[in-house]
Structure 1
Amino acid sequence: MVRAPPRRARERRRGAWPRVAVLAPAVLALLAGLLGGLLRAGVALPGAGAAALPWQAFAFHGALMTGGFFGTVIGIERAVALGRPAAFAAPLASGLGALLLVAGFPAAGAWLMAGGALAFAGVSVAVLRRQPAAHTALLLAAALAWLAGTAALASGRALASVNAWCFLFLVVTVAAERLEMTRLMRRRRGAQGALLAILAALALGAAGSALDGRAGTLGGCVYGVALACLAIWLAVFDIARRTVRSHGLSRYMAVCLLLGYGWLLVAGAAWAATAAGLPWRDAALHALGLGFIVSMVMAHAPVILPAITRIRLAFGNGFYAPLAVLHLSLAARLAFGHRLPAVKAAAALGNVAAMLLFIAVTAAAARAWRTRAAALARRS
């Protein structure tokens, strides 16, 4: 005889379906973005030359990853935190905009994504009004950076600064979340002021990146130096320095964070070098996008995903496997990929494998939780 699930559990599952439905375009954007990334890295994919979708993914790889996936997921998280159904309009628009990009409607997709960023800024204003604090003000600043990046992409103007603005959105979002966590520590005097100065320099560098000539070069250099300074700030003041000595999920999160901060330092140096004319663009973009941002996702997903989907996870050491694959493949890509195209392609496959493995490990953790919960229910 199979017992019917308790009423509260059934209601929790029903309430999760709208969130999962909004999450679906983000997953599709992620898959398309990964496909585009492989093509950009020189990976030969069967049939890619005969289809339009892979080349749309190639052209809009950055927008699919930063806005279509990360922006949509962050938008869902923010909508859940606000608790208003209308707030889901932001991630829905950005997710659908990403799908239009790969479907061959770039103008409509870019403008819809910009509309999602505008709605997300409105949600961030509501969050700030509900909880006035330094970290919620930074979350609003991050939303405005995303709006600037998507507006530049949609209008075709200031394209040189699109990456800078979109990465600024993600970087400031992470910094805001970590600033909130430092409330648990005894913060040194001037630490918050230093962080705000670094983030202001990042915004100044992003704005300057759109300019021509020496001003654009200076803007890129300022942006890179600010990224490096942010890495140092996080390494010094973040609670991860303490929690890395703990056990279980807390230690895993700290390892992800500290590795990410190391790649952020590399990204800052590479970004400034690229602005100065050195051929380090791939290192700058992927040390930041993969080494830092994806590490932050791997760190926070075991906590954020249950809040978004109401699917609980049983943490295990298996989460370290995709983390190791990600960082080893990224190190190989940045160390040898600029001289050896075959290594770059193989490392890009490793980058993608790490993210797909992380999804598989997360799914296994969800199954393990359900199995464990069912066993406890039978015993009771």
Structure 2
Amino acid sequence: MSLISPKAFHLLPLVVLGLVLGVSGGWIRLGSPVIPITSAGMNHGLLMVGSFLGSLISIERAMVLKKKVWLAIPFLTGLSSLFFLTGMIQVGLYLLLVGSLGLGIIMHLQSVRHPHFHTYLLYAGAMFWFIGNFMTWRSGLIAAGTTWWMGFLLFTIVGERLELSQFLPVPQWAKKALAIHLLLVFIGLLVPFHTWGNELLGLGILLIAVWLLVFDIAKVHVKKTDQFRYLGIGLRTGYLWLGAQGIILFALENHPLFYDLMLHTFFLGFTFSMIWAHAPIIIPTIFGIRETPYHPILWVSWTLFQLSLAGRILFSLIEIYEFRKAFGVANGYLILIQFGLMAGIVIWKIRKRKLLGNLNHQRKEKAHLNLDSLA
């Protein structure tokens, strides 16, 4: 068996393209065209949530089914970035619609085979992604899909946390409380924002953040060392960002940058904290490698990312726009640096293992030659 599953690995360029275009679009929307691609600015949300995050999650879920034909789904969603890049927005949207529906089919099959609460959450998340894409396609407005995309990522991440923590003893009442909190979020997605939808959504999200801080296994990982401590602190930091978003949704509706604050505490603070915390566990599983993308150097870029995001949010709250832009641009660079470091760590570990393997092989051959000469 090869060290890397070629079919899954070959989707990475499309995923990376979605990330780079999404980050460049974020820079443009901040008023700093570091990479001046107009179409990236127009389709920033579609690129980040669909072409990048949606493709990454679809690869993970497709690999669970073993049959590589399911990788056609993340291939379609990853391919959407090329069409968004060239201005063929409708084609890119169609690909995301088909891909998100495909992820829903994957999760339907998995929930039939493994009928557990966490699997149903993953199933619901996939369908929320499809609904968000459909709302955007139908209305022509990215804002029409954003809350459903938040539901997609929230339900997916909570489902994955429950899946990874299913053997942790959690009181039955706490499990029921989490179900109520998630139901509150779902109702908040259904109710229009101009009535009381944002308050319901914010309350549900805040309660879920508190639940995760209290009951998730991350509290155990924090007390350990090295990779496990990185995992635990990363997760719990993400839960704090989720709580911050809940407060913003509930209390800051009249702030001039409400929409920006609401989106980026969630999609950057919460979601990227989750990705980087899960990466040492998920990436080796998805791509069939032994090496984990963890090294203590990640703490540096991870910390700088969190500080730059905190700076962006702070200066957004107090409406100092130049500092907000500066911290936002730095935040984008640090996203790319963090992923670049993880890729470099994996490559370095693979080369190091191959080198050690070759040295051991040479030593064995030398030992055999010595034995033969003695004989």
Partner of 2:240: 262
Q: Is 2:16 the counterpart of 1:35?
A: no
Partner of 1:228: 206
CA distance in 1, matches of 2:201, 2:248: 11
Q: How far 1:282 sits from its partner (Å)?
A: 1.6
Aligned CA distance change for structure 1 residues 161 and 233 (closer, same or farther; 3 Å): farther
Q: Once structures 1 and 2 are overlaid, which stretch shifts more, 267-276 or 325-334?
A: 267-276
Given the alignment, which residue of 292, 314, 317 partners 1:313? 292
Q: Is 2:215 the counterpart of 1:241?
A: no
CA distance in 1, matches of 2:253, 2:82: 32
Aligned CA distance change for structure 1 residues 158 and 30 (closer, same or farther; 3 Å): closer
Q: Is 2:335 the counterpart of 1:334?
A: no
Partner of 2:151: 168
Deviation per CA, 1:172-197: give whole Å up to 9, x if none. Answer: 11101111233232102211111111
3-state SS of 1:217 partner: coil
Aligned CA distance change for structure 1 residues 124 and 321 (closer, same or farther; 3 Å): same
Q: How far 1:363 sits from its partner (Å)?
A: 2.2
Q: How far 1:365 sits from its partner (Å)?
A: 1.5
3-state SS of 1:316 partner: coil
Aligned CA distance change for structure 1 residues 98 and 136 (closer, same or farther; 3 Å): same
Aligned CA distance change for structure 1 residues 268 and 161 (closer, same or farther; 3 Å): farther
Work out whether residues 35 and 57 of structure 1, in 8 Å CA contact, stay in contact via their aligned partners in 2: yes
Deviation per CA, 1:120-143: give whole Å up to 9, x if none. Answer: 100111111221211111110000
Given the alignment, which residue of 72, 78, 89 partners 1:89? 72
3-state SS of 2:166 partner: helix
3-state SS of 2:292 partner: coil
CA distance in 2, matches of 1:276, 1:42: 23
Deviation per CA, 1:258-277: give whole Å up to 9, x if none. Answer: 11111111111112335456
Work out whether residues 98 and 113 of structure 1, in 8 Å CA contact, stay in contact via their aligned partners in 2: no
CA distance in 1, matches of 2:247, 2:312: 16
Work out whether residues 121 and 159 of structure 2, in 8 Å CA contact, stay in contact via their aligned partners in 1: yes
Q: How far 1:84 sits from its partner (Å)?
A: 1.8
Work out whether residues 279 and 293 of structure 2, in 8 Å CA contact, stay in contact via their aligned partners in 1: no
The one-letter amino acid paired with 1:333 is: R
Aligned CA distance change for structure 1 residues 136 and 318 (closer, same or farther; 3 Å): same
Work out whether residues 76 and 88 of structure 1, in 8 Å CA contact, stay in contact via their aligned partners in 2: yes
Q: Once structures 1 and 2 are overlaid, which stretch shifts more, 88-97 or 120-129?
A: 88-97
CA distance in 2, matches of 1:224, 1:278: 18
Q: Is 2:161 the counterpart of 1:178?
A: yes
> What is the percentage of aligned positions where both structures have the same residue?
29
3-state SS of 1:45 partner: coil
Q: Is 2:274 the counterpart of 1:291?
A: no
Partner of 2:360: 379
The one-letter amino acid paired with 1:326 is: F
Q: Is 2:9 the counterpart of 1:20?
A: yes
Deviation per CA, 1:320-354: give whole Å up to 9, x if none. Answer: 12210111001111111352222112111221122
Work out whether residues 238 and 270 of structure 2, in 8 Å CA contact, stay in contact via their aligned partners in 1: yes
The one-letter amino acid paired with 1:33 is: G
For this pair of structures, how many residues does the alignment match? 358
Structure 2 unaligned runs (5+)? 362-375
Query: TM-score when scaled to structure 1?
Result: 0.89
Partner of 1:192: 175
Bigger radius of gyration: 2
Partner of 2:40: 57
3-state SS of 1:216 partner: coil
Q: Once structures 1 and 2 are overlaid, which stretch shifts more, 277-286 or 229-238?
A: 277-286
CA distance in 1, matches of 2:177, 2:164: 16
Q: Once structures 1 and 2 are overlaid, which stretch shifts more, 341-350 or 248-257?
A: 341-350
The one-letter amino acid paired with 1:318 is: I
CA distance in 2, matches of 1:112, 1:337: 34
Partner of 1:212: none
Q: Once structures 1 and 2 are overlaid, which stretch shifts more, 235-244 or 92-101?
A: 92-101
CA RMSD of aligned residues (A): 1.9
Partner of 2:368: none
Query: TM-score when scaled to structure 2?
Result: 0.90
Work out whether residues 220 and 271 of structure 1, in 8 Å CA contact, stay in contact via their aligned partners in 2: yes
